[in-house]
Amino acid sequence: MNPLFTALLVGPLLWVGNWIWCLYRNYRAAKLSGLPVLLSPFAPDGMPYLLIKGPLRPLLETILPFPGIRVSIFGWEFRDRHELHDRVGPAFILATPDLNELWCADPAMAQVILARRKDFVQLPIASKIMSFLGGNILTADGEDWARQRRLVAPNLNERISEKVWSESMEQANQMVDYMLRQPGGASRDVISGLRAIAINVLGQVGYGEPKPFKPMELPRDPAAAEKSTYVEAISLCAELLVFAALIPSKFMRMSFMPKALQTLAVAVENIPGLTKEMLEQERKRIASSHSGSGSRDNLMSMLVRLSDAGKSGDKQQSGLAGEAGPHGQYLTDDEISGNLFVFTGAGFDTTANTLAYAITLLAAYPQWQEWIQEELDRVLGEQEQTESPDYNTTYPQLARCLAVMLETLRLYPPVLHVSRSIKTSQTIRTAEDKSYFIQGPCVVYINNPALHTYKSIWGEDSLEFRPSRWITKGADGAEEELITPARGTFSPWSGGPRVCPGQKMSQVEFVTVMAAIFRQCNIEPVPNKEKGETMDQAKKRMLVLTEDSMPRLTLQMNKPEEVYLRWVRR
């Protein structure tokens, strides 16, 4: 028999045999867990399946009988919410030819997974993507994570929150003025405007770079990207993060590549130089402050002072809360770069998209605008609408504004799942004396959309937008207080020791923007007159836009430009 013919015949047979054996082996390992098992014939992250599964999702789900096909396609959690878990169980194993995946929507199990940070570590591919500009608090594990947490987290304090409050108020007031100046108060720039607020707040709080409000326009061609600022370059990377992290910039620069990727390549190549220049300038400012010229107080200056003081062992010189001094207790420049990217890219995208969903939902449900305006009128009283209220006395009283954020995050969590992985087999024992053996290595996902919409936890209206579910009367029956959900049932900022250190910053920014907008305005959808659309139909269209979403860096609407709203002064 011809050797070439033999190779062509035997090669595929060997590949199929290995595929069947791997799937069978992993299925047996999954059965040991005691959990329900679903099968996927494809490795979810394998090529070329990774490239085709999204566009071909309807076809794949129709022609392939494997129940795990749906689970293997990115974004299924948002499409299904709690439905699949209702049928299969609160936790199950997806057996694949590569690594098995544990999908958890069991609050007790989720709580254990998030608490055991040394056993359930960051997913390697997620760490690779999020650390492409340097190691950071999000991607680090073990003692490296503990060191960064000790140094960074204590400095995201009330001093930073107060700056977030004042800058958010200023930016939101400018946005209101911009919207009211549009013909008839109607604008399609609402979502880009909210993204501008988020990035401008980070520019001021993170880097001491104030910028006046205007709807966000990122560079869209390589020539414009050459002149982009650090914040603009980071924003481009956040928008196309997977490409930025995994595809070499030289390849993206090639003439046959789409212009968007060529533009991204320029931004990626410019970031190291922009970062170095920023750090050098900040160190010069800090040195000048020692001679009486004054220093800035922002996130970058804190990280630089903390790092330099740690290297020299001078904790008092830093003036910060971190434990600087002993060898290794400082941030390298690479880690400063990585942490600035995480706080800028991830912080910008999560807050901006939460604001986008909230504003669109409030336009569809005007009764909740009135609900938060009752609170604003009570708390702010006769203050001028453009006056910036005091942070320390006002923010704690705006429980309804924060409830709107929590309800938005419940239905539209920016991160659909909290990802972890295990390298060796682990036993998960819950408070209910249940025990599950998970054979390693294995990928672990905590399914936020399912946990956030279970009827047994959130009630029969679990899929409805009802911010008042988060409010209860205080002990004296007068002041309203926020409800604290049961542990393991609500994790938009992750949970356990690795809870997001920027949680308070994002809450302050969201509440401030809500307060600034709705103390001055009401918003409503603009009906499509050409189609004879009524106001009720326009409101329903807003809800369709929120459901037409896909996860990118975070969950985002596919057609944000169709959020067309009218702003009316109260």
Least confident of 13-17, 134-138, 174-178, 545-549: 13-17
pLDDT in tens, 94-136: 999 999 999 999 999 999 999 999 999 998 888 888 888 888 8
How many Å from the N-terminal Cα to the C-terminal Cα in the chain? 86
The pLDDT mean for the chain works out to 88
Strands (E), 195-286: none
Cβ-in-10-Å burial (0-12, 13-18, 19+) of 250 comes to exposed
User: pLDDT band at residue 456, thresholds of 50, 70 and 90?
Assistant: very high
Query: What are the start-end ranges of the H helices in 117-186?
Result: 124-130, 142-152, 158-181
Instruction: Give me the pLDDT at residue 476, please.
Output: 64
Instruction: Give me the pLDDT at residue 348, please.
Output: 82
How far apart, in whole angstroms, are the C-alpha atoms of residue 542 and residue 362? 10
How far apart, in whole angstroms, are the C-alpha atoms of residue 175 and residue 167? 12
Residue 377 vs residue 281, higher pLDDT: 377
Instruction: Give me the pLDDT at residue 46, please.
Output: 79
Q: Which residues pair with 185 in a beta bridge?
A: none
Domains defined along the chain, listed by start: 15-134+419-445 (no CATH), 151-415+453-489+492-569 (1.10.630.10)
User: pLDDT band at residue 313, thresholds of 50, 70 and 90?
Assistant: low
Once rounded to an integer, what is the mean pLDDT over residues 523-547?
A: 96
For residue 144 the two structure tokens come to 């490296």
Residue 162 scores a pLDDT above 50: yes
Whether 547 and 364 have beta carbons less than 8 Å apart is answered as no
How far apart, in whole angstroms, are the C-alpha atoms of residue 94 and residue 67? 9
Annotated binding residue 401: no
Instruction: Give me the pLDDT at residue 535, please.
Output: 97
99 sits in which H/E element:
none
Residue 321 scores a pLDDT above 80: no
Could you give the C-alpha distances from 385 to 89, 181, 569, in angstroms and in order? Answer: 50, 17, 11
SS3 417: strand
How far apart, in whole angstroms, are the C-alpha atoms of residue 531 and residue 527? 9
pLDDT in tens, 383-413: 766 667 999 999 999 999 999 999 999 999 9
User: pLDDT band at residue 314, thresholds of 50, 70 and 90?
Assistant: low
Residue 328 scores a pLDDT above 60: no
Cβ-in-10-Å burial (0-12, 13-18, 19+) of 460 comes to exposed
DSSP-derived pairing of the beta strands 91-95 and 37-39: parallel
Once rounded to an integer, what is the mean pLDDT over residues 75-100?
A: 95
SS3 215: coil
Place of tokens 């002072």: 305
Instruction: Give me the pLDDT at residue 56, please.
Output: 82
Once rounded to an integer, what is the mean pLDDT over residues 190-218?
A: 88
Residue 320 scores a pLDDT above 80: no
Total residue count of the chain as it appears in this document? 570
Instruction: Give me the pLDDT at residue 410, please.
Output: 98
Instruction: Give me the pLDDT at residue 307, please.
Output: 75
Q: Residue 190: what residue type?
A: V
Residue 555 scores a pLDDT above 70: yes
Instruction: Give me the pLDDT at residue 322, please.
Output: 45
Residue 191 scores a pLDDT above 90: yes
pTM of the predicted model as reported, rounded to 2 decimal places: 0.91
Instruction: Give me the pLDDT at residue 53, please.
Output: 81
- Closest to 108 in 3D by CA, of 486, 500, 493: 486
Instruction: Give me the pLDDT at residue 310, please.
Output: 64
- Sign of the torsion angle spanned by Cα atoms 305, 306, 310, 315: positive
